Structure 1
Amino acid sequence: MRVAVCDGLVVGAAYAVRRRTPLAGTDLEPDDGWIPFFFVDPAHRRAGLGHRLLTDALDWLRGHGRSRVGFAAYAPHYVLPGLDRAAYPEADRLLARLGFRTRYEAVAMDRSLVGYRLPEAVRRHEEALVARGFRFGTPSDDDLVDLVRLAEGEFAPDWARAIRHSLTCGAPLERIVLARAPDGRLAGWAMHGAYEGAVERFGPFGVRAELRGAGLGKVLLHRTLARMRALGAHGAWFLWTGEHGPAGRLYRHNGFTTTRTFAVLGWEEPGREEPGREGEGQCGGGR
């Protein structure tokens, strides 16, 4: 952490991270570093302070052998998915001058739950799926191993971590809705309150790849929204999904609107090729 102090007040900061604890397995991602956030007080901008703070952060990471740096998507402890260019155009210009380029974009979405009722069409579709052998409900303790394996194996290790952490911190199982396929496999799940116990925060949420297209995601989404409303939630929101992928389309078709757009940025040591990166790619909500 680099801070800038003027007259006894912090007027800027930049935070650089290298992984010392694996997110999954034993991979410490030795070539990668992250800058989860930086800021400069508006009264002290346009004097080179942001450039100095970010350069110090990059130099520190390079001094530890990091040749790729991401802004701001450090899992699991990110602050925001990336740069909100509309809110911070000066930061956008500064990061571009330092060589950061867009890897992909993510969006935050929300929807009101005021007066929410489970749509009749969703109820009928759930009944049709049940008639085909699918089952929906709250997990038992015995279901949790399958849930964590699915989250980590098909989606993201930090999703599995979020599920484990929320449950060990006492989150009730009623915050999770599971779907099982006719053959007994866990088909998907949706949940809320997994991050910092925020009841109105939806996700993570996912459907097994080979079972998508049957409408399981819509049922899981609405069943979870109904539970959130029953707890008194005024709305549902999440920070991170791909706007134009299957998840983004599902959300938009079910009442969610985009509230912010984030550019997930990357810096590459000169002479090295920028690694390919995909968007979230999940049928799911923010991490």
Structure 2
Amino acid sequence: MLYTIRHYQDTDFEQVLDLFQKNFEFDSFTKELLQEKIYDDPFFDKEIIWVACEENKILGFLMGTYRMEIRGVNYGYVKLMVVDLASRRKGIASAMYALLEEKLRERKVDVMRLGDVPMNYFMPGIDPRYTPALCFAMRSGFNRFTDTANLRVDLNNSAWTDEEKLESLKADDIEVCRAGVEDKAELMDFVAEEWKLWQFELEMAYKSEPVAIHIAKRKGKIKAFAAHSANNIGMPWFGPMGTHPDLRGKGLGKVLLFRCLNDFKKIGYNTAIIPWVGPIDFYAHHAGAVVERVFWRYEKKLH
């Protein structure tokens, strides 16, 4: 097979969308979702996005991106990649990846990862059911370093409110409400203290109508938050969420989670997704969440 590799152009979008829709067995892509994944990446750069073509037909697509100085490390990512099923085992993915790695080495990237892109991501790793992706990772010198999971919540199992807890919080001078535009500057400053990378996702959540962020204030100061619809547009995607250390253990996480799940239920979703989860037991206990998907995380050290 003769194919050429060139940089992605905006006019390629419809063909690339068709590739994703036909070749991702366990996921679905809408036009709006793929637009968000490509164009809403905070470091969107066509110089690190490629397509492989046979004449005018696109056979493969690879999107790279990067995040610099995360706890002193410069990370590069394969954010999205797909090769047409009939064109696999021809070296297309490896050829596109070689170009990406070369470019990111020039930009002083220290570590490459697959999928788990902070701020705007589709998957937090590789779903092992995509076995060809695992083989690509191993052939390309990546090492599996941990796992993570997405959880699913059945929204029809609860009314997603806890009035008793809300009353007890009020007695402790804690107010829970939906974030407003007037809260944005303070919320961004609060998040910057421990979770600076989440500021971008909160910016996305602020674009929802109503704002897809709930906050808890003590004596008028923001001390906790939970957001949804901050990533993967059109999907019932929960998070991020955080509580100031001084107020952890008071049940704020549960209350804020419930408010987000109630939003999803009002929109008309039957299930919600809690992605890239650390404390599985918290969500299982309070929301009856179950593990829906597991992801293997891979990285490759360049420097």
TM range (shorter): 0.7 to 0.9
Superposed, 1:120-135 pairs within 5 Å as: 122-135=162-175
Aligned equivalents of 2:265, 2:64: Cα separation in 1: 39
**Are residues 166 and 31 of structure 1, via their aligned partners in 2, closer, same or farther at CA, if it must alter by over 3 Å?**
closer
CA drift at 1:100:
1.0
- 1:222 paired residue number: 258
**Aligned-partner SS, 1:261:** strand
Match in the other structure for 2:56: 8
Query: Would the aligned equivalents of 1:116 and 1:229 in 2 still touch at CA under 8 Å?
Result: no
Are 1:164 and 2:203 counterparts?
yes
Deviation sequence 1:70-99 (CA, Å, 0-9, x none): 2222333323222112x2112212212222
- In structure 2, the CA distance between the partners of 1:131 and 1:165, relative to structure 1 (3 Å rule), is same
Q: 2 CA distance for matches of 1:178 and 1:130?
A: 14
Aligned residue pairs total 254
State the SS of the aligned residue for 1:96: helix
RMSD: 2.8
Q: Alignment partner of 2:276: what SS?
A: strand
Structure 1 letter corresponding to 2:281: R
Partner of 1:283: none
Instruction: State the Cα distance separating 1:23 from its structure 2 match.
Output: 9.0
> What TM-score comes out, normalization by structure 2 length?
0.72
Distance in 2 (CA, whole Å) between partners of 1:252 and 1:128 is 23
Asked if the contact 2:120–2:231 (Cα under 8 Å) also holds between the matched residues in 1, the reply is no
1:261 aligned residue (290, 294, 300): 294
Q: Which residue of 2 aligns with 1:51?
A: 94
Q: Deviations over 1:131-185 (max 9, x none)?
A: 232221223443222222222322242x212223442x46324x3322123x543
Aligned pair in 2 of structure 1 residues 79, 55: CA closer, same or farther (>3 Å)?
A: same
| 2:244 alignment counterpart | 208
C-alpha spacing 1:177/1:259, structure 2 compared with 1 (3 Å): same
Q: 1:95 — aligned with what? A: 137
Structure 2 CA distance for aligned equivalents of residues 104 and 214 of structure 1: 30
Say if 2:284 is the partner of 1:252: yes
1:77 aligns with 2:120: yes
Residues 1:236 and 2:272 aligned together: yes
Quote the Cα distance in structure 1 between the aligned partners of 2:183 and 2:157.
32
Shift of 1:34: 1.9
Distance 1:93 1:211, change over 3 A: same
Matched-pair identity in %? 24
Q: 1:15 to 1:118 in 2, by over 3 A?
A: closer
Contact 2:50 2:63 in 1 (8 A): yes
2:184 partner letter:
L
Q: Which has the higher helix share?
A: 2
Offset of residue 267 of structure 1: 0.9
Task: Using the TM superposition, give the Cα deviation of residue 31 of structure 1 relative to its aligned residue in structure 2, in angstroms.
Answer: 4.1
TM-score under structure 1 normalisation?
0.76
- Give, in whole Å, the separation in 1 of the partners of 2:240 and 2:223: 14
Q: Secondary structure at the match of 1:241?
A: coil
Q: Structure 2: where are the runs of 5+ without partners?
A: 1-48
Structure 1 residue 62 and structure 2 residue 102: aligned?
Answer: no
Q: Determine if contact 1:166/1:197 at 8 Å carries over to the other structure.
A: no
8 Å contact from structure 1 (residues 207, 217) kept in 2: yes
1:33–1:68 CA contact under 8 A, matched in 2: yes
Matched with 2:214 is 177
What does residue 113 of structure 1 align with? 155
Q: Which amino acid aligns with 1:130?
A: K
> In the alignment, what sits opposite 2:182?
142
Query: What residue number does 2:15 align with?
Result: none
Return the offset for 1:107.
1.9
Verify the 8 A CA contact 2:51 2:61 in the aligned structure 1.
yes
Residues 142 and 166 from structure 1, CA distance in 2 versus in 1: closer, same or farther, beyond 3 angstroms? same
Corresponding residue number in structure 2 for 1:36: 79
Separation in structure 2 between the aligned mates of residue 241 and residue 180 of structure 1, nearest angstrom: 25
- Code of the aligned partner of 2:294: T
Structure 1 residues 5 and 141: CA distance shift in structure 2, 3 A: closer
SS in 2 for 1:204: strand
Aligned amino acid, residue 194 of structure 2: E
Q: 2:176–2:214: 8 Å Cα contact kept in structure 1?
A: yes
Tell me the SS of whatever aligns to 2:275: strand
